[in-house]
Amino acid sequence: MSKSNRYAVVSDPTDEEVKKFQQGLESYNMEKTNREFDSPQPWHNLILKNKEGEVIGGILTSTLYWTQYLEVLWVDEKHRGLGYGRDLVIEAQKLAKEIGCISSHVYTFSWQAPEFYQAVGYDLIVTYDGYHSGIKEHVLMTRLDSLDDRITPKAGPDRFAITSDPSEEEIKTVRAGLGRNFDKHAKKNF
């Protein structure tokens, strides 16, 4: 803890202190946005399963101030390049549009998928070039009011199913898949 003449800066706050800080920030954000800061609130989690019921991909999204955020998108390497990532993004966008979101945003690293997101209709907003070893972070977005509702995921008897009510274990599988991909690419740069 460092002290100034008037305040103490605590580097190891208690859970209660963190909670109080978070409540203060939430209250401020709600006041400044006419109580809509956390609207519309629902997370949409879509899981991609093969015919044996094994999770081979998924997308986890959040919303904030009528904007969808693609938090996690992962497709197993064996199934990449077959349109499943596109299908997951399209389904997530449709769900967000149905609940009133006006845009969709994503943050992605240079070794992840900036070109993929541009190929599915996201525009590059900014590139942050301040990470170790030349890694860059890209922020992309698309307007959902311009989303063509006629675009649908690929269909056919050989396509894997997308489900919208995943278990906690299935969500963990998607997060772990992205984590393995992160480790594989990010750690080789250090």
* Residue 69: its H or E element: strand 67-75
* Residue 58: its H or E element: strand 55-64
Residues in Cβ contact with 149 at an 8 Å cutoff, skipping those fewer than 6 apart:
94, 97
Distance CA 99, CA 104 (A): 13
**Tokens 């081979």, residue located:** 56
Task: Tell me, yes or no, whether 105 lies in a domain.
Answer: yes
- pLDDT truncated to tens, each residue of the chain (190 aa)? 556 568 888 888 888 888 887 777 777 666 766 666 666 677 889 999 998 999 999 999 999 888 999 999 999 999 999 999 999 999 999 999 999 999 999 999 988 889 999 999 999 999 999 888 888 999 999 999 877 766 677 777 778 888 788 888 888 888 888 777 666 666 665 5
Task: Tell me, yes or no, whether 88 lies in a domain.
Answer: yes
Task: Tell me, yes or no, whether 90 lies in a domain.
Answer: yes
Task: Tell me, yes or no, whether 37 lies in a domain.
Answer: no
pTM above 0.95, yes or no: no
Longest Cα–Cα distance in the chain = 71
Q: What's the CATH number where 180 sits?
A: 3.40.630.30
Identify the domain containing residue 115 by its residue range.
Answer: 49-189
Task: Tell me, yes or no, whether 70 lies in a domain.
Answer: yes
Q: Quick one: DSSP state of residue 84?
A: H
Number of structural domains (the chain) is: 1
Task: Tell me, yes or no, whether 103 lies in a domain.
Answer: yes
Task: Tell me, yes or no, whether 163 lies in a domain.
Answer: yes
